[in-house]
Amino acid sequence: CSVALSDEPIRAAVPPAVELGLTIVYTILYSLLFLFVYLQLWLILHYGHKRFSYQSVFLFLCLLWSALRTTLFSFYFKNVVQANQLHHLPYWLLYCFPVCLQFFTLCLLNLYFAQIMFKANAKYCPELNKYKVPIRLALIFSSLFFLVVNLTCAMLVQGGIVGEAEVRQVVLARVLVNDSLFVLCAVSLAVCIFKIAKMSSANVYLESKVLDRPQSVI
């Protein structure tokens, strides 16, 4: 079938009132998330927990992600054009880096639950400890590879290094790498959680970790 060409300008998919309402809702949600995570980090500092732990790193990643998203959506009230014409570094921080933070968080969850699985099996299968270092190196390498790919693609597209014909290929390569790594990490996390759910020793270990915290923090 043929497609008729028209000189009419492309219109927005949603009415301006709906777009403004969604912008307000998302900005409020991201702001509330930022305040909630900030409060959790302050409680960790106040009650003397370990400052460098899985919990603190996870919360810091969430805090940074919500701060970047709140900043980006705040542009959409009056400075939409400015948000699309940022310099290379601000553009990458607001549009690309939040995706990297999401992947870092997923890798951190994989590492945490893998550690729980190893500790729960320490008495029954001590030979599993030899996989600790390879898993940590694999997750670190995956995070660095994810960061390098996204940073390189952003520099190629925003810096005008490649032509318009190559932009689509660069974006496609970035999407394939991102989606593949996300799926692999999600599958590995699901496997870890499934195995932990069937291990009574893992449940005992998790309960002991919760009981060790002060009641005022829970």
Q: What is the pLDDT of residues 85-95, one digit of tens each?
A: 777 788 888 88
Residue 133 sits in the same domain as residue 199: yes
Residue 190 sits in the same domain as residue 113: yes
Residue 102 sits in the same domain as residue 198: yes
Task: Select the more confidently predicted residue: 167 or 129.
Answer: 167
Residue 98 sits in the same domain as residue 175: yes
Residue 66 lies in a domain: yes
In total, how many domains does the chain have?
2
Residue 73 lies in a domain: yes
Domain that holds residue 73: 16-82
pLDDT at 127: 64
Amino acid at 59: L
> In the predicted model, is pLDDT for residue 178 greater than 50?
yes
Q: Could you give the CA distance from residue 67 to residue 61 in angstroms, rounded to a whole number?
A: 10
Residue 5 lies in a domain: no
Residue 99 sits in the same domain as residue 64: no
pLDDT at 215: 40
Q: Is the pTM of this model over 0.85?
A: no
- Percent of the chain past pLDDT 70, that is, above it, reads 72
- Cα–Cα separations (whole angstroms), residue 203 to 77, 154, 185, 198, 217: 47, 43, 23, 9, 21
pLDDT at 81: 64
Q: Hey, what are 185's tokens?
A: 């990490």
Q: Could you give the CA distance from residue 54 to residue 59 in angstroms, rounded to a whole number?
A: 9
Q: What is the pLDDT of residues 117-139, one digit of tens each?
A: 877 766 666 666 677 788 889 99
Residue 110 sits in the same domain as residue 136: yes
Q: Hey, what are 143's tokens?
A: 């995070």
Residue 215 lies in a domain: no
Q: Could you give the CA distance from residue 102 to residue 62 in angstroms, rounded to a whole number?
A: 8
Residue 69 sits in the same domain as residue 93: no
**SS3 at position 199:** coil
pLDDT at 126: 64
- State which of 60, 82, 104 marks the end of a domain: 82
Cβ burial, residue 13 (10 Å; 0-12/13-18/19+): exposed
- State which of 82, 100, 131 marks the end of a domain: 82
Task: Select the more confidently predicted residue: 75 or 189.
Answer: 189
Residue 75 sits in the same domain as residue 116: no
Residue 1 lies in a domain: no
Q: Hey, what are 190's tokens?
A: 């699901």
Length of the chain: 218
Residue 6 lies in a domain: no
Residue 135 sits in the same domain as residue 201: yes
pLDDT at 9: 44
Residue 156 sits in the same domain as residue 78: no
Helix pair angle (16-46, 54-75), 10° resolution: 150
Residue 127 sits in the same domain as residue 43: no
pLDDT at 111: 92
Residue 119 sits in the same domain as residue 177: yes
> In the predicted model, is pLDDT for residue 58 greater than 50?
yes
Residue 36 lies in a domain: yes
pLDDT at 82: 66
Q: List CB contacts of 60: < 8 A, sequence separation 6 or more.
A: 41
- State which of 66, 82, 98 marks the end of a domain: 82
